[in-house]
Structure 1
Amino acid sequence: MSSNQPFLALSCVSFLVSSPALAHDDPRADEQPKKDVIVNGERIKQADDVKLVAPLVNLPKSIVVLPSDVIEQTGSNSLQDALRTVPGITFGAAEGGNPIGDRPFIRGFDSQGSIYVDGVRSLGSQTREVFDTDQIEVVRGSDSTLGGRGSAGGTLNIISKLPVADKFGRISASYGEADYKRFTGDVNLALADHIGFRIAGVYHNQDVAGRDAIHQRRWGVAPSLTIGLGTPTRLIASYYHLESHELPDSGIPYLYTIGNAPGTGNILSQPAIGNVALINGRTGYVPRTNFYGLTDRDFRDATDDEAMLRVEHDFGTLTIRNTTRFNHSDQSYIYTQPDDSQGNVYGTAAVNPTTGAAAARGDVLTGGLVWRRGNTRYGYTDGLIDQTDLYGQFKTGSIEHSIAVGTEFAWEQARRGTFVESTGATITPRCDTSTIARYYCTSLFTPNPNDPWVNYTSDTSTTPTPIVKGLPNTETQNDATTQAVYGFDSITIVPRVIVNLGARYDRFSSVLRPAVAAGAEAIRLRRVDGLFNWQAGLVLKPTRETSVYASYATAATPPNSLLGEGREDNALPTTATAANLQLLDDLKPQKTKTYEVGAKASLAHERLQLQAAAFETKIDNARVTSDSGTTTFIGKSRIRGIELTASGTILPGWTVFGGYTYLDPVILDGGQTILTAAAVTQTVGGVTTTLRPAATIAVPSVNTGKQLPQTVRNSFTATTNVTLLKRFQLGGTAIYNDRQYGGYADNRSYTQTATTGPVLNAATRVLYRSVPSYWRFDLRGSVELTPQLELSVNAQNVTDKVYFNQAYASHYASIAPGRTVFGTLSLKL
């Protein structure tokens, strides 16, 4: 990429800003200082998703709308950054087959595959920007009726910036700590009568405060055109491009494994940060800055292209809309997981071996080392989705209907592979003299990300070789098609009683072409699922501004729902054995249902919206191991919780956004774990005799009864902004998240001897991999220098709190940036 390319977006915007068409005053811009943050009620536009068929205050769902005002005021520069202001949303790390990308958990359920852009599913795993985001709609609860497959805990709908009937422009430039540089532009023009054009752009370049070596570079542009603004027939075309280059953050390793955790009982294994003592008594200090990756190896490159064509026509009180959207995303990366799997962080012995093969290898068992496990991936996703909707209002006698009916046809494809590299994975234990010399292992306390790492043809070879992509036969491809029909109706029986109904049927077909050995015949595994989901709710309105409701909704997650673009609890088998072919037929969609009651109120002339909800969500048919050691579909989980949210204007010039969430997330049935007692043999005169054959036993999974991973019981956020003397603004954000668990393990075992039969040894240790709770505080101040020029300063994580924002199931946890202060100069035109 040439050095000029990253500025393409802003150069386009700058050209348009200079247009004489912007000489007019921007009515919307003039209103910005006194604009209310209103997220419900009739004073704001309807949600962009036409399937939400009533004003949000009249919908029997817990819905949070994150407006662009809050995104801008908090200095958010990514989807994850923006969603930190919404209570009850946590984030999972890349793990196992899960690629790097946005992985939000809503109400305790992974919603990575339930992210939509302008009402259309956006499948590819990516780190999304917000420069082209008008608002983010968070619909909580089982939601397959609204969005289709998945959506067990809820959905995210990102609404893009599209042309409107105003003329305005805004350019912002930010600079701050850790060489933070960000430039954004947003221009809306009237090209002719009823023709609007809008273009948004971004250039972002920063290191990460408090972290060694980490950097993020990206640029993007998003033009859009509307023909027919203000007329009954409208054509909308939009395009979005984002290109990213970064050194991905590898976080901090957990201290213990189940094999070396000291003591007995329940043991917390937290990231090895601060003062750390090892198994041999040696102590050291691990600062937040420690980065265990390698600048000579690690990278992440990603692009995302999205194009939308939408046609709308109004006839009477009804509108017909057709939306066609094409998505293409690709990414390639090698990133380090600082791995604790061999006990190399804390250590497994007080002294290193001095005799035998272990001594000859130079095995290091006393801890203080981190294996640099290189996780790799390259691939792409393509999607072509067409949705047709008929929506609007009509009456049958005295009964009012607000309806949406529609169809969806989708084709999606994902293909992925891995790079060929040597990282010491074939050497046990991972850290010895040779692996340390090759920088496969590094110091827990003083890692050097600039170590001169070299790739070899194998872990023991001395022949350097470049890192290359795997051969085509080692790649995996998933194809999927969806045909769906749906309908929604908000029925106002009398002004104070509203019934909300919805139903959707999906036919989801996926085909998996797994990796095969060189020269082997390609395998094609196909699965088809029919999914019927529905929702029903009753809304009672004591007054026009208040409502209480009760609702029921379902969701279904079919096998291979994410096409390998996320963590697949219910993946298709990858080999064509007889057992796997039977499993292919036996697979079942995971089923989720949510019961919810709540209340909503719009106060101060609908400028302050309050919402409360209590709910229970159950998931059935979870894929687990049976007592016979085979796959079965009996797993169950349950989440109960309450949600309190507030958003809008408390007093003129004083806005608030945030709330509190309490969750009680429990794994009711995690299935079984199979333990094996090794065979007992005896060798006499060169002849081996089996005294006792291997034996197995099924025991309840360690997960049963535990808190669902990636969830927190208590979370709280509050963002506020106060306007003083019409020119000055002060604000800030407070965030609290409770302890988060990544995964569990215990040390139960099944053993036998020549003289005794198999014996089940009860667990003496249960390991909880977790990250501690935290408070985070942000501050913001701004001054309007002129009616067109504003200067603001954001201080994120103002107390420089050391905390972790993602818990991996094992190995490591992601650490959050340190204090980041940056100033922004914004020009309105």
Structure 2
Amino acid sequence: MSFIKSRKKIVSSAIASSLSMIAVNAVAEEQVIQLETIHQEVAAEKEPSLKVDNSANKKFVAPLLDTPKSVSVISKQLIEDTQVTTLADALRNIPGITLGAGEGGNPNGDRPFIRGYNSESSMYVDGVRSATSQNREMFAVEQVEVTKGSASAMGGAGTTGGSINMISKVAKAGDSLEGSVAGGTDNYQRITLDGNKDFGNGIAARVALMGHHNEKAGQKDGAEYSRAGIAPSITFGLDTPTRATLSYYYLKSDDTPDSGVPYWDSATQTATGKPLNAKQGIYYGWEDRDFQKQENQIGTLKLEHDLTDDLTISNTAVYGKSKNDYVWTQPDDSKLNIVNGQVVRRANTRITDTDTFSDQLSLAGKFNTGALKHSFNTGVEYSRQESDKGSYNLTDLGVTTTTLPNGTPNISASKGCSGLTGSTSNFWCTNAYQPNSRDPWLGSIAASPKASTTETESTGIYLLDNIELNPQWLLDLGVRWDKFETEQTIHASNTKYASDSDFFNYQAGVTYKPLPNGSIYASYATSANPIGVDAADGSEGISVPGRNTTEEQAQAMNNLKPEEVRTMELGTKWDLFDDRLNLTAAIFRTKKTNTRAADTDGFTRNIGETRVDGLELGANGNITDKWAVSAGYTYLDSEIVDDGAGTNDGNQVQNVAKNSATLWTTYDLTPAFTIGAGAVAMDKVYGDAANTKYVPGYVRYDAMARYNVNKNVDLQLNVNNLTDERYFTKAYASHYATEAEGRNAVLSLNFKY
């Protein structure tokens, strides 16, 4: 809490300083005009738009219009319009993505599901995997690219339902300065600054800064978020054949996390159905006990050399460190305490320290073989990740919540509420309908930081090639081989579990262009999901359920093969209205075989199968000079085809919304005044494979108004969840769901020079 209080002072001081700076610059009119001229020369290459034509990921060897794959891009303009500050908030602009919840074994952090498949280990920063458990910020992100469908030929292991790639703000040509100072309801405070300086002689430097604090909208004495970050970079050799960029990213957060709402069916008095029908904004957390502290660092060195005008060799080396430590309350409904009006404040804990190193060497460019035109990218990638996982032991009145050797909380040691109330349980029990987050914590917390260590090592070789047969026909081909090794050590017993696999993946697509501004395509792509793909820093895990002896566990792991995924897709893309608006449509099937599932003898084997059939529609860009739109709709028909020895065959896949839609649109009423409105709609989502626990469907509405004070400064008001709808964003499989924020408003002063 001291960190949060200090951040409030820092943010408040920064707001005052920035306002003073803006006022001084506004007076210095000649200087403003000079800076604006430079800014216009640099930005003239591309006007801000909700439409993005090319991926910043060089593995996309053709424009998005000619790529036989569904790709959704959250543009810089959409980020600014909606004022989203986290990746989780940004992803709500894309239909077909749901968010999963975490606890102790499944870490509390970003856990997106793309087209119904877990993608927390398929997160990338500038094309390099960055899959550690964390809550990601947007202050240093230029845009977000979501690739949908199997994509291991491009991304390697995982990428079952797709992947998420965040494009960083790095040094560039030209001088620019922009930022934002914002305040709002629920003690919202935020300041960002992004400055780029071109020193000439091919050298430029850039730094992005951020300070943030807010309380969860609609919650009293509840969740609270505070974070600060910096992302400097420097580039040498701009506009020369040889370029080098050195960048660093740092984000530190200190939060009081949200505790969620337990499932409860009052008719059957069981912990099933939808979340408890309690007041909106209810909070079961324990302020004296709960915290989540994260620290993430990424250092990157990228070298590029143009061998010819059409051939570039590059190497990107990345080293990262990630920490995710927390103790937070999960409202435990497992003992049916709500019958007595009570909820157990079960403690979920985790201590994770992860080090990663990745290196990517690639050769990209264009060449011709006779009449065939090739645009290609080929390369070699290596990565190594080591993750130490532990937890916290909590002791109170002789009752101890311990951890299992692999770092998972021992739930059976949690305190119950049978015959107890708040004070007689030392406040481990709280009222189910009127909890008190300020109850005193009378116990002790001790760290057990290294229960297990998991190491993964991956090597991949790939070739991607887009071949223009003639102006109407394009062929897209890709192949990749990966070797993936993982080993987990349980330190208490010195037990080791290991898995070693190698696999090929490929993609093939054909695109027909009836007109230069349109394409019709068909594609087929594969993915492979080996055991331990998240290096135990996610929900995949590495040890498998089944027999308890070391020999049997080890044998079970050695026998498990990577899960296999296939995506077939047929779609079309069109640029209309002088290429200002992009329309897309696609139908697809994703099928996952060799799914890990429990067999009749208790062992986990590759015997399961799931399937998702779907339809997607999208529109992004400008309908007129004044009217911009970003809209999408996704229909997902999912089925658990084979649950192994389970009884869930035929059920809907968990974390899948059958129907989902998004809309964001803005209109320039005058050259100085813009209004915007948006909506997000989603069907109910099941949290478990048995389809007994779910969060209801909802529709949320947002609005925005922006006034340009002058050519450098604007004022923007965003009001989110206009109708104060009570809805839930995450459905956990067993115990709880996460309630969304209530109505909130943010007023920001934005400047660009």
The verdict on how the C-alpha distance between 1:497 and 1:312 changes in structure 2, with shifts beyond 3 A counting, is same
Amino acid at match of 2:445: I
| Letter aligned with residue 233 of structure 1 | T
Answer yes or no: is 1:730 the counterpart of 2:675. yes
1:524 matched residue in structure 2: 496
**Helix, strand or coil for the counterpart of 1:579?**
helix
Compute the TM-score of the two structures, normalised by the length of structure 2: 0.92
Q: Deviations over 1:318-364 (max 9, x none)?
A: 1111000111110210011101111112x2xxxxxxxxxxxxxxxxx
Taking the aligned partners of 2:328 and 2:415, their CA distance within structure 1 comes to 21
- For residues 119-518 of structure 1, the aligned pairs below 5 Å read 119-212=127-220, 213-256=222-265, 261=268, 269-273=273-277, 286-316=278-308, 317-345=310-338, 347=339, 367-422=340-395, 425-426=412-413, 430-433=417-420, 437=424, 438-455=426-443, 466-470=444-448, 472=450, 475-516=451-492
Contact 2:264 2:272 in 1 (8 A): no
Amino acid in the other structure paired with 1:607: R
1:462 counterpart residue number: none
Q: Distance in 1 between matches of 2:47 and 2:743?
A: 29
Secondary structure of the structure 2 residue equivalent to 1:25: helix
Q: Percent of counterpart pairs with the same letter?
A: 37
Distance in 2, Cα, partners of 1:648 & 1:427:
53
Report the counterpart of residue 562 of structure 1 in structure 2.
534
Alignment counterpart, residue 658 of structure 2, candidates 706, 709, 713: 713
1:137-196 deviations in Å (ceiling 9; x for gaps): 110001111111101000000000112222111121111100110101111111222111
Find the residue that maps to 2:89 and give its secondary structure. helix
* Counterpart among 11, 24, 39 of residue 35 in structure 2: 24
Residues 702-748 of structure 1: per-residue CA shift (max 9 Å, x gap): 32111111110000001111112210010021100100110155xxx
Please state how far the C-alpha of 1:502 moved relative to its aligned partner.
Answer: 0.3
Return the offset for 1:95. Answer: 3.7
Give yes or no for contact 1:145–1:502 (8 Å, CA) kept in 2: yes
What is the deviation of 1:50?
1.1
- Residue equivalent to 2:723: 799
Shift of 1:27: 5.0
Q: Deviations over 1:604-639 (max 9, x none)?
A: 221100111100000011111222333221100000
SS at match of 1:499: strand
- In structure 2, do the counterparts of structure 1 residues 315 and 708 end up closer, same or farther at CA, with 3 Å as the change threshold? same
One-letter amino acid of the structure 2 residue matched with residue 157 of structure 1: N
Instruction: Find the counterpart in structure 1 of residue 518 from structure 2.
Output: 546
Q: CA deviation at 1:427?
A: 6.7
Q: Give the AA of the match of 1:309.
A: L
Q: Which residue of 1 aligns with 2:403?
A: none
**1:543 CA drift (Å):** 0.6
Q: Are the equivalent residues in 2 in contact too, given 1:256–1:340 (CA < 8 A)?
A: no
Residue-by-residue CA offset, 1:5-57 (whole Å, 9 max, x unaligned):
9569969x97999999985225556979x93525344xxxx322111111111
Q: Deviations over 1:286-338 (max 9, x none)?
A: 21122111011000111110111000011220111100011111021001110
Query: What residue identity is the alignment partner of 2:353?
Result: Y
Distance 1:218 1:428 in 2: 32
**Does structure 1 residue 665 correspond to structure 2 residue 676?**
no
- May I ask how many residue pairs the two structures share in their alignment? 722
Cα distance in 2 for partners of 1:725, 1:492 equals 44
| Cα offset, 1:411, TM superposition | 1.1
Judge conservation of contact 1:142–1:151 (CA < 8 Å) in 2.
yes
Q: Which of these residues, 46, 49, 53, is aligned with residue 61 of structure 2?
A: 53
* CA shift in 2, pair 1:428/1:176, >3 Å: closer
Matched, 1:112 2:112: no
What displacement does 1:572 show? 5.1
Q: 1:29 to 1:210 in 2, by over 3 A?
A: farther
Alpha-carbon contact 1:538-1:551 (below 8 Å) kept: yes
Q: Which whole-Å deviations, capped at 9, do the CAs of 1:412-465 have from their partners, x for residues lacking one? A: 11111010114765378543327752111111111100011211xxxxxxxxxx
Aligned to 1:580: 553
TM-fit CA distance, 1:235: 0.5
Please give the TM-score of this superposition, normalised by the length of structure 1: 0.83
Partner of 2:406: none
SS at match of 1:131: coil
AA matched with 2:654: P
Work out whether 1:607 is the aligned partner of 2:580: yes
Return the letter of the residue paired with 1:130: M
Task: Identify if the C-alpha distance between structure 1 residues 571 and 498 changes in structure 2 by more than 3 Å, giving closer, same or farther.
Answer: farther
User: Between Structure 1 and Structure 2, whose CA radius of gyration is higher?
Assistant: 1
Q: Distance in 1 between matches of 2:549 and 2:194?
A: 52
- Shift, 1:84, TM fit: 0.6
CA distance in 2 between counterparts of 1:73 and 1:431 reads 50
**Is the Cα contact below 8 Å between 1:29 and 1:168 reproduced in 2?**
no
Q: How far apart in 2 are the matches of 1:202 and 1:617?
A: 39
Write the distance in 2 (CA, Å) between the matches of 1:599 and 1:548.
Answer: 4
Give 1:742's match in structure 2, choosing from 653, 670, 687.
687
Superimposed CA distance per residue, residues 194-214 of structure 1 (whole angstroms, 9 cap, x where no aligned partner): 111111111101111111221
Give the 3 Å change call, closer, same or farther, for CA 618–196 of structure 1 in structure 2.
same
Structure 2, unpaired ranges of 5+: 400-411
Which of residues 629, 637, 643 in structure 2 aligns to 1:656? 629
Secondary structure at 1:24's aligned position in 2?
helix
Q: 1:741 to 1:544 in 2, by over 3 A?
A: same
**Whole-angstrom CA distance in 1 between matches of 2:464 and 2:748:** 44
Equivalent pair of 1:6/1:218 in contact (CA under 8 Å):
no
Residue pair 2:469, 2:475 contacting (<8 A) in 1 also = yes
Considering only aligned residues, what root-mean-square deviation do their CA atoms show, in Å? 2.5
Q: Confirm or deny: 8 A CA contact 2:50 2:78 kept in the other structure.
A: no
Separation (CA, whole Å) in 2 of partners of 1:479 and 1:6:
38
What's the offset of the Cα at 1:514? 1.8
1:805 is matched by which residue type in structure 2?
Answer: T
Q: Find the aligned partners of 1:596 and 1:610 in 2 and give their Cα distance.
A: 16
Question: Which residue type is aligned with residue 735 of structure 2?
Answer: H
Give yes or no for contact 1:9–1:221 (8 Å, CA) kept in 2.
Answer: no
- My pick for the range that moved more, 568-577 or 712-721, is 568-577
Do the aligned residues in 2 keep the contact of 1:371 with 1:431 (CA within 8 Å)?
no
